[in-house]
Amino acid sequence: MLSVEKVNSIGDHEPSKQQIRLYSNIVALTLSLFLLFFSPLLFILFFCFASPYIDSRLRMLFSPLIPLCAVTFYSSLQPFSDLSEYMNVYHQVNDGTIDIFNYQRFGHGAEFLILIIMKVTGWIFSNNDQMFLITIYFLIFAVIYATCIKVNRRYHLALFGLLFFTLGFVESMSYVLRQNLSLFIFLYAVYAVRNSKVRFVLFLLSFTAHISGIINISVYYFAVIYKKKIAGIQSVFKMLLVVFIIGLALLAFVKFTPLGESLLLKSNAVVNNSRFSLMPLSYVALTAINTLVLLYLISKSKGIDTVTYYLFLKEALVFFLFLPLPTVSNRLGIILFSYSAVFMFYFFKNPANNAIAYKRVAVLLAINLLPFMYSMSVVSAKGNDYTFYNNQPLTYNLFQVIDELADRVQHGVVYLDNGNE
């Protein structure tokens, strides 16, 4: 009897699943608060990838803080290169020098969305530099965040984190604002919107952000109309025939329309500009590894939708085909270079596969996190153009972030250069 009672007493002291869940949530809450105040960047890293296993109420509470921290991270940059040029255009828009709907340098006048954002921001915040940076990055990250939530509510932060901690994401988000804005309006339309009319309107909006959006829009409609993946030589020939017809249509667009001519001239200007250089080998190698991993995962999946399938093919062909041309491959192949997490979206369509999909996300994170962290350590140790959090991206605390942004709002933003002039 004594032995039975002893066993029962021991069993009574074993923690239940509810107690374990409670303790783990307390630990997660404590660690999240500590990291939020100690290092917002490390907070993003921890919470994004721990969030699927945290209580849903806690996840809902902290989730909006992730994109807000991302906004403070990028809006802490000191403008340089393309970003400096955007700041100069921002001032010209608000002093009346630039006609919003007829600024030839931005897509022959077609890329007016960001100019409208500049005008409204300048009017509300008295042409304040820092408020423009906060506004434009807030809009971009809001669309990214909304897209990830639509893809999967429980795992949306893991997808957001995989996007954020990719080295190519740092590169493009620090430079090409119009193309980023265009791309994520397009991605939101594809992966988050079901109504075809709303999607079409968003496609038009994506085009007014950057005219290169026409390429992704064309791929989308090709995939929707063609509806088949490559299987066998006959299918390859059929697909090539359709691609040839689309190619002729795009050639006619480039040759015989002002917008197409503008796109061609812009590409030539970039290729022939001596200030642009070929992509560093480290970026190429990382993108190649991501591509091989994605290719393996996609080849093992039978349920991939045709839109994702052809977007991936287009990105891989464009990125590697145009590598010899300065800045062209990472801009026309920007999804593969900067947003490889997008090709993980379809893995989360079936809730039964969420756990497996999360493991695949973890694999891509493991590949991309080390280069990202090394890059941030270089910023901290030596400093470079990526002046995130005053050159202290890993250790800048929340109070320092608030103080710096408030100071920049009040006293202005210091530019590193005046752009690629």
Q: Say if residue 215 is exposed, middle or buried (CB neighbours under 10 Å; 0-12, 13-18, 19+).
A: middle
Residue 146 pLDDT: 95
pTM of the model as a whole:
0.84
pLDDT value, residue 295: 81
Q: What is the pLDDT of residue 242?
A: 60
In this prediction, the residues of the chain whose per-residue pLDDT falls under 50 are 1-2, 6-7, 9-11, 232-234, 237, 270-277
In this predicted model, what pLDDT tens digit does every residue of 229-265 receive, in sequence order? 655 444 554 555 565 565 556 656 656 667 666 655 6
pLDDT attached to residue 298:
77
> How many other CB atoms are found less than 10 A from the CB of residue 391?
16
Give the pLDDT of residue 169. 93
pLDDT in tens, 324-374: 666 777 888 889 888 888 998 988 887 778 888 898 888 899 999 999 999
Residue % of the chain over a pLDDT of 90: 46
Task: Give pLDDT, residue 419.
Answer: 65
Look-up of token digits 């999909």: 357
Rg (CA), the chain: 24
Domain ranges of the chain: 27-411
